[in-house]
Amino acid sequence: MNRLPGWIILLALLGSTCTWAGCLDNTQLTGVNLAGAEFNSKNLPGVFTKDYTYPSSQELAFVAAQGANIIRLPFRWERLQPRLGMAFDAAELKRLQTTIIQAQLQDLCVLLDAHNYAKYYGDPITSPAHQDAFVHLWVELATQLGNPEYVALGLMNEPAHIPLADWAALAKRTLTELRAAGLTHIVMVGGGGWNGLHSWFSEKDGISNATAFAGLKDPLQRSVIEVHQYADQYYSGMAQDCYPPAHFDQPFERIGQWAQDNGLKLFLGEFGMAATEPCLQTLEHFLQLMRGNEWKGWTYWAGGSWWGDYPFALNSDLLNPSPQWAPLKAGFYRGGDQSPPLPPQDASH
């Protein structure tokens, strides 16, 4: 029988009896996605190390050494729970637990990201059975993992396969049931559709994310609105062109004002760009646009050892680091006076 290493068991026991410093209490959470556990979604559940992978301890240490304080960890619902509403796969749960503990050793928070686009084995999660199982997934996973000082819950990546109004209702229900179960984790609530920052106010079927989530209430005030934003012509994250920096001023300002008006915080869970000079300028501008108090933070897309020649990818090479590392390292939150200064306030805004 496979057993957890002794140091992991010791940490787990300590975590049940001690109070950790709590990296999620940082004013800003800034880091990267470490992708791989969600790969090869056409082969589900798939074979570990053949179809998908998890971050290594060396990758986590490298990310922490650059100054990040959080990773966003995409995973597939079907791998954790191969049968709807039934028990978790023990090996997959252990992989999640091990990654969290290894990250915690580096003082990295972990944002768990159900990377499913509102589908389960290809079926939209629109039926009562699917939605009940989704709520159960998060309540049970948060209960088993515990550790709310280091683990945040990202309910669903880009829920494009469910009507926006239905997703908003399901997300709010999940939050309500997490709190009713006494779970105190930070909850990242993504918008409906492809969750674009640029389209936050766009209506589909008579409703927009701005309208659907304006009334989001959390008795613990530990929920954050997650959005995504890519910089190419169609905001797809599939091309290497980038709009110039100023193109994004108005969308960031508008959603920032919306967040302030509704007493909410924002988190940019995905943004990535090629290593061209125009794109690097836009990347730097993104980071400047997220220095206001309405921003809880961001995670760049993406790091991970299986990307090959993906143009947005971050490597783990000290001698020849990906060009995107330089602006990200300059923008990572470091606490107090060491963090990048806030931009000057324009009195006309």
Q: Provide the annotated active-site residues.
A: 158, 270
Q: Are strands 151-154 and 109-114 parallel, antiparallel or unpaired?
A: parallel
Per the DSSP assignment, residues forming a β-bridge with 187 are 153, 223
122 burial (CB, 10 Å; 0-12 / 13-18 / 19+) is exposed
Asked if 259 and 216 touch (Cβ cutoff 8 Å), the reply is no
CB neighbour list of residue 256: distance below 8 Å, 6 or more residues apart: 266, 292, 294, 295
**Most distant pair of Cα atoms in the chain: their distance:** 65
Of the candidates 136, 49, 121, 31, the one whose C-alpha atom is nearest the C-alpha of residue 87 is: 136
Round to whole Å and give the CA distance between 157 and 199: 16
DSSP for 62-81, written as a single string: HHHHHT--EEEEEE-HHHH-
The radius of gyration computed from the CA coordinates of the chain, to the nearest angstrom, equals 19
**Where are the extended beta strands (E) located within 164-232?**
187-190, 223-228
Between CA 53 and CA 62, with CA 58 as vertex, the angle to 5 degrees is 115
Residue in this structure with the two tokens 């108090």, named with its chain if needed: 293
Round to whole Å and give the CA distance between 204 and 45: 33
Round to whole Å and give the CA distance between 97 and 79: 14
Tokens of 297: 């933070």
Of the candidates 159, 158, 200, the one whose C-alpha atom is nearest the C-alpha of residue 301 is: 158
